[in-house]
Structure 1
Amino acid sequence: MAACLGVMALAVFVNVVLRYGFGSGIAASEELSRLLFVWMVFIGATAAYPAGEHMAFTSLVGLLRTRPAAMQAAAMLIRTLVVLACGLIAWGAWQQVVVGLDSHSVVLNYPTALLPLPALLSAVAIGVMALVELVRRAPFDLGHGADVE
């Protein structure tokens, strides 16, 4: 993520300086930044899942802390929905990857399959992690020791 952000920041900075200072820019800068941004977002989403850092509405689930059976049922339901959502995202991303294999970007000429590919990889990775948690019946970590967020 840091490498993507660093290259993006440098490319955009150089492009801005060239446009305002010299009246010309680097056309590849925008395309490269877009590609790196997409990869950075999905790498971050995948890294955030096992750490429990995704946005969550813990208030409702937090009310179930005193009832372990209800808390376990909620965890199972939520993880099942995560696996289902990841399956749908992966299926859609796969279709876009297949479509993108035959076309290339305008400036950098990379296969446009590289744009939906991180969504596919992220959905598969998060889906597998959620499935493992579902099978292990791992308890929810509501995080940060807070009762309600």
Structure 2
Amino acid sequence: MSETLRKCTDALMAACLAVMALAVFVNVVLRYGFGSGIAASEELSRLLFVWMVFVGATAAYPRGEHMAFTSLLLPLRSKPRALQAMTVLIRLSVITACVLLAWGAWQQVVVGMDSHSVVLGYPMALLPLPALLCAVAIALMALWQLIRGEALDLGHEVDVE
């Protein structure tokens, strides 16, 4: 992942978190301090949280920051063919999971096109859309790694106790 793209995703996640924190804080102060609140605060926070999670998941994949069970693969280091076969199997499993996620998210996007949120009025398709985009992006990255024959990053072994 290029440094520019990494900075953009980090900035986008930080902006989502900042707006969410501000919206929730203001809403809490208004509710408990003045007996009123901003109804749009909850919808906005929910929408931003969903987008932040999927932007983060997409950004984490090329960094190798997703959960990894490298301790299961460490014994295969002395068997390069077995490790290569396992790498292919893992990449194909990631692509399969992404295809399933993308298919389900697409169905939800289509359903959400006809309905709108209660307060803000945005199309409900905006809630599953980041899952669709994330699944497509990760599947393409995994496919690219598979085509290029990239080895798995076993650098997480230092985290194993």
Which TM-score bucket, shorter chain as reference? over 0.9
Q: For 2:79 and 2:160, locate their aligned partners in 1 and report how far apart those are by CA, in whole Å.
A: 16
Q: CA deviation at 1:63?
A: 1.6
Q: Which residue of 2 aligns with 1:124?
A: 136
Please point out which of 48, 69, 82 is paired with 1:36: 48
Instruction: Give, as a single letter, the amino acid of the residue that structure 2 aligns with 1:51.
Output: R
Matched, 1:60 2:72: yes
Deviation digits for residues 25-59 of structure 1, max 9, x if unmatched?
11100000000000000000000000000011111
Q: CA deviation at 1:145?
A: 5.8
Q: Which runs of 4+ in 1 moved over 4 A?
A: none
> Contact 2:106 / 2:132 at 8 angstroms: preserved in 1?
yes
Q: Tell me the SS of whatever aligns to 1:107.
A: coil
Q: Percent of pairs identical after alignment?
A: 77
Please point out which of 66, 87, 102 is paired with 1:90: 102
Q: What's the C-alpha RMSD, in Å, of the aligned pairs? A: 1.2
Q: Tell me the SS of whatever aligns to 1:60.
A: helix
Figure out how many residues of one structure are paired with residues of the other and give that number: 149
Q: Which residue of 2 aligns with 1:47?
A: 59
Structure 2 residues without counterparts, runs of 5 or longer: 1-12
TM-score (norm 2): 0.89
Instruction: Give, as a single letter, the amino acid of the residue that structure 2 aligns with 1:38.
Output: V
Q: CA deviation at 1:78?
A: 0.3
TM-score (norm 1): 0.96
Matched, 1:5 2:17: yes
Structure 1 residues without counterparts, runs of 5 or longer: none
Q: For 1:145 and 1:93, locate their aligned partners in 2 and report how far apart those are by CA, in whole Å.
A: 34
Instruction: Give, as a single letter, the amino acid of the residue that structure 2 aligns with 1:99.
Output: V
Q: For 1:90 and 1:44, locate their aligned partners in 2 and report how far apart those are by CA, in whole Å.
A: 17
Please point out which of 99, 105, 121 is paired with 2:111: 99
Q: For 1:147 and 1:53, locate their aligned partners in 2 and report how far apart those are by CA, in whole Å.
A: 12
Instruction: Give, as a single letter, the amino acid of the residue that structure 1 aligns with 2:155.
Output: G
Q: For 2:115 and 2:93, locate their aligned partners in 1 and report how far apart those are by CA, in whole Å.
A: 34
Q: Tell me the SS of whatever aligns to 1:43.
A: helix
> Contact 2:70 / 2:156 at 8 angstroms: preserved in 1?
no
Between 103-112 and 135-144, the greater mean CA deviation after superposition: 135-144
> Contact 1:62 / 1:147 at 8 angstroms: preserved in 2?
no
> Contact 2:20 / 2:45 at 8 angstroms: preserved in 1?
yes
Identify if the C-alpha distance between structure 1 residues 43 and 70 changes in structure 2 by more than 3 Å, giving closer, same or farther: same
> Contact 2:54 / 2:131 at 8 angstroms: preserved in 1?
yes
